[in-house]
Structure 1
């Protein structure tokens, strides 16, 4: 039985993000859909396109909290994201 999805909005570093959590999909998996909506398609540390559908074992969000902001903050410390931020500040000629 598929459980009803819950939709949340949050703001992270000036980006509005919509998170849709489906606790049980296809009676087999839990799903988090994360999408940047303002600005639309803005890159996030977990996705260059501003969209990510993340499948996890059922109950993972209940056990670990599903804190999307903490995940974004953690990923934002990695070299790839820091390089993206630096390039965004400087602008790119080519």
Structure 2
């Protein structure tokens, strides 16, 4: 579980999602699941639904320091988008409508 900009996010990590892939290629294919817990199902810059399933080569996960570090990097990178900045800004403003 991590806290990112006020969002509580659950991260599930499976180091080797497919033993066959690992047998063939010599390294694991990892699977990372990201869920917004609080606020529940809130959109994130990497998902409009509050859930993201992501496959990634295990050596990349290790190189970046683990699944949590990879998710934080994904979030920070995606948060640079104009769409996310606008959504974040509009959620801070009070609306009567």
Q: What is the TM-score with the length of structure 1 in the denominator? A: 0.78
Structure with more of its chain in helix, by fraction: 2
Q: Please tell me the root mean square deviation across aligned C-alpha atoms, in Å.
A: 1.7
Partner Cα separation in structure 1 for residue 8 and residue 92 of structure 2: 20
TM-score between both structures, scaled by the size of structure 2 = 0.76
- Describe the SS at the equivalent of 1:71: helix
Q: Which has the higher strand share?
A: 1
In 2, Cα distance between the equivalents of 1:92 and 1:40? 23
Task: Measure the CA separation in 2 of the matches of 1:13 and 1:92.
Answer: 25
The structure with the larger Rg is: 2
CA distance in 2, matches of 1:63, 1:55: 15
Deviation beyond 3 Å, 4+ runs, structure 1: 90-93
Once the two structures are TM-superposed, the CA of residue 92 in structure 1 deviates from its matched residue by 8.1
Q: Which has the higher contact order (CA 8 A, sep 6+)?
A: 2
Mind listing any 5+ residue stretches in structure 1 that lack a counterpart? 1-8
Report what 1:18 is aligned to. 10
> Which is further off, 62-71 or 41-50?
62-71
